[in-house]
Structure 1
Amino acid sequence: MNSADDELCRASQEAEASLIYNDSYFELFEASQIIEKEVQEGKTAERFYEANDGDIEKRALDSVPTNTQRRDKWAYNTFTAWAIAVNNRRGGGRKPVTVLEDMGLDELAYFMSKFVLEVRKKDGCEYPPNSLFQIVMGIQSYIKTVSKRNVEFLQSDVFEEFRQVLDGEMKRLTRKGLGQSVKKAEAISADEEELLWRSGQLGDRNPRVLVNTLLYLNGKHFGLRSGHEQRKLKHKNSQISLKTSPEGHEYLCYREDYSKTVQGGLKHRRVTPKEIEHYTGSNPARCHVRLFKKYLSLCPPDGHDDALYLQALQSPTDKCWYSRQPLGHNTLQKIVPEM
């Protein structure tokens, strides 16, 4: 195509764009003329729907899933029933419970702590730990949705003591065996995990918490669900190795050695074992890579059983937190459910 053809092509494109622009312009012009005529004739009120405050609230509520709305209403009603009962039997200088929506943060933290210790079902029985947690989350969601207040039970410093009370009560209920009739393993939700980090059940503050955290993160990131799978992890020639990417980023690589479907026999000689990579996280305190490195650095250097998870020493030192004795698969199986 020569220069003359190029000029003709550009001119054609500009003309086409001009037509499109002009068509749009005339459409807008015609619309504005119609609206101006409606204004002059006083007909605009007939054209537009008049939304009131109730409509706005309803549309905002419609964005919340129905099951969440039911949970929140159930949680609110449960708290209200408890508050009425407390106020009816109040005596001895006990502080009255005010309306949930009107409570300040300090007052809310105080009454939520008492609530999780005293709340009961209609038949007088205690709630299972997961149900208690769902009630707490429902109350938080209700306050956010209805009262338009940004309340964060699992994150705000104001609710630190409340988180400790809730964590302790859930553990007490678990020890009593409440809610353990369900055999199917349930994944820990994001809110539940946040509570575990905030309450110190996940982290590296002591030997037991560190090994529990490593087991939880290995299960979460590498799909290891049973105590037997966790017990198969090795310390030497481990399935989990620390690597560095070409860009200089550290990551953990889990390589499956054998499983029910990959057993290493003749039929599986060409089957590629599962490999999963997990890179360093943005929060160092919760970084799987950092916690893995710290755990290895605090294990005895040699002479221990070839198992990844070791028992904590009764008297750990700055350089060694763990004995040479491995944790059994039954113990490993119970760690996450008992958090």
Structure 2
Amino acid sequence: MDDITSFDLGLQWDEVSLTQLDAIPTQELCHVSGQINEKRFSTPLTESQFKQTLNERIPLRTRHANSWAVSLYNEWAMWRKIQPHTITDQNWPIPALEIGSLKSLDYWFARFIYEIKRKDGKPYPPNTLTNIAAGLQRYLVDVCDRRDVHLLKKDDGTFKTFQHALEKRKKELIAEGVGIAVKKADPVTEKDEERLWERGVFNSDTARGLSYIVYFYNCKMFGLRAMDEHTNLEANQFHTGFDENGRKFLQYEGRLSKTCTGNIDCKAKPKVIRQYSDPSNERCVVSIYEQYLALIGFSGRFYRRPMPNRDNGTIMFSQQAVGVNTLRKYLNDMYRDAGIDYEAENRNITNHSGKVTCCTRLYDKGFDEQSITGRSGHRSTAVRSYKRPSEDLLQNISNALQPPNLNKKKCVRKQKTRNLKTSLQLMIESYKLLFLTELTLSA
């Protein structure tokens, strides 16, 4: 009662009716003692702003994949409706995703996944069919709020027909050899890297040379992925320091990534990686990063648009960030500027080759899987798909599995014969020396 009477209603307590209390705005009934610290709270969002914020929690590429899967389903449904036997089907009509019953969706999804093809008439690879199903699943849950849909959950028999159709179609495609030879990104070889330095593509005298260096070594040293980590990279994620032994290092502090998603069930933490300096190496990247950060500043976007040097040789960077499409082609541009024709060598160099290089180099140098994942940021055995055995290693493996080599056996016999002759000659020389020694002593 004391709390209520402490409000200044302009009336005595015994003069206030329930009707008058109901007419008071809710905010006026909230008693706050002391001053509110406004720094503790964000500005309230409108309903549309809040929905937009929630929608942005889904990565852009995932949203595109979901939209593509839904568009493919809708296009198939339009085609299926004009087929003669469709309208006589007992499960007609083909349902809309938002309102279709579980039984109807299971029936038509099974036909959909079995009948779709690419625009050129060729079949989709098995993994693509699974991705299409996953896109429909995400759309039904996130957009349509269909919490009862579990397309790929095997212990849920609701979509058993669809799962059997997907499994059967994938087995058929694998038996036909579709999607077996997956085109993966190849690593940047040590020879390529040396040529990039020797031919001046990597240099610390121009803005473009510096930009190329930090992009490539962000991939190689810190295991940054294709574009998701590069695009939003900030300058303040890097700093130099010294450890307790006085050794200088460059430290990278990661943020959101494919591994560290920020989801409720995600336990991964942003990676923090140190790259120690090598004073004996004139190409030491720690010094080059210090130079780059001093030129662009220690805040804002990390990748700044490189500008031509001034007449006095001063290196210049624009305040504008490098565009995502330009970054996407950075590695290919480096190869082009260095005159390296990777296509003629039947290699696949993409913006993902940088991260593959990180894993492959450490693998080739004999580091264990835990050390590799510490750099790459992988949480599971997925890192194995990034390892690429060297050509020399593949050659040695092939040689070890070849049939017995007749020529090699002949060479071994010849070598044994030569060794035997050499041994006999040494024995004869020894006896000669011993005989001469005895003659000398007897004389």
Larger gyration radius, structure 1 or structure 2: 2
Normalising by the residue count of structure 2, what TM-score does the alignment of the two structures yield? 0.32
Normalising by the residue count of structure 1, what TM-score does the alignment of the two structures yield? 0.41
